[in-house]
Amino acid sequence: MSLWIIYLCVFAGVTALVVGIAATMSGVREDKVSERLNQLTNSGDGKKDNSIASDILAASRGGTQSVIEQMVSNYLNLPKLFEQADVNMTISKFMVIVVGSATVGFLLPTVGGLSIKFGPIIAICFCVMPFTWLFMKRKRRLNKFGSQLPDALELVARALRAGHSLAAGLNLVGQEMSDPIAKEFNRTFEEQNLGMALEEALENMCERIPNLDLKFFATAIILQRQTGGDLAEILDKIGRLIRERFKIRGQVQALTGEGRLSGIVLLALPPTLFVVVYRMNPDYLMLLFTDDFGKKMLVGGLVMQILGAIVIRKIVDIRI
């Protein structure tokens, strides 16, 4: 038991160290941005204004990140995930949540009357939960954007036929439709309205929203501006193509429903049986943690479980 107390003290110390460093080294972004905005509004030189505006854009893209934020961004690219999921949270705050969740998971077995040997396993599960929430929120937002895209393309096409410009069509989508597509199109309109080239603004939107249909839309606009043609007709065709893909995707989801349900049952069955057997006869399962061969079986079971999840996902995930 003394060994586990040492583990607990080390884990708590590392947690406190990470939180302290994150709180100490986090940049005061709001003050720097406010200072540069004041310089921008008080300056009269156009070239100086442009340079200050560039500095503000660079700062908003991560120029004032702390060391921890930069290190996490290099390996996990959390700022891009936050932007795609539309989460207004700093990297330091998110990492504090991750460490706090791991700490709660490590202490939960002792509070629930279980053996402290389950602490690292439960801590890892709790540590993954914030990332799972972030990816699920990102996926829901991207799926909603994809479902709104055909209507947006038709709205832009009707605006072009009515005699409006392409920029006015983008602004119309931002005003008439709901988020997330309204926010993204409105941001693209504001970027090109403030002097950025339309091609670059569309490229930025494609980076924020990794959607293949959106790339078709951006490519069509860029080619039409270079070679000419009826852009409204092109957008109508892209919209019809997207709707047909949605129909095929719905049919595939219906046909693979049985496989997905079987995968959920097969993946949930071993952990459920483990908990039930442990509550009924704890000594029967302790061999998995005390015996060397039992530890190898436990690791092998976890590896096979992960491989099975990957294989089942590959079988039911059919790209359209």
d(CA 31, CA 77): 24
pLDDT tens readout for residues 125-179: 888 888 888 888 888 988 888 888 888 888 888 888 888 888 888 888 888 888 8
- Alpha helices (H) in the chain, listed in sequence order: 2-25, 29-42, 46-58, 67-76, 78-85, 91-111, 119-161, 166-176, 181-193, 198-208, 212-227, 231-255, 257-280, 282-285, 287-290, 292-316
**Residue that is written with structure tokens 């490519």 in the block:** 219
Q: Please tell me the class of the 141-244 domain.
A: mainly alpha
Cα angle value 6/9/13 (rounded, 5°): 140
pLDDT tens readout for residues 19-69: 555 444 444 344 444 454 455 445 444 444 444 344 434 444 444 444 444
pTM over 0.75: no
CB 178 within 8 A of CB 162: no
Inter-axis angle of helices 181-193 and 119-161, nearest 10: 60
Give SS3 for 311.
helix
pLDDT tens readout for residues 214-273: 888 888 888 888 887 788 888 888 888 888 888 888 888 887 787 788 888 888 888 888
The full set of domain ranges for the chain reads 2-139, 141-244, 256-316
d(CA 156, CA 239): 11
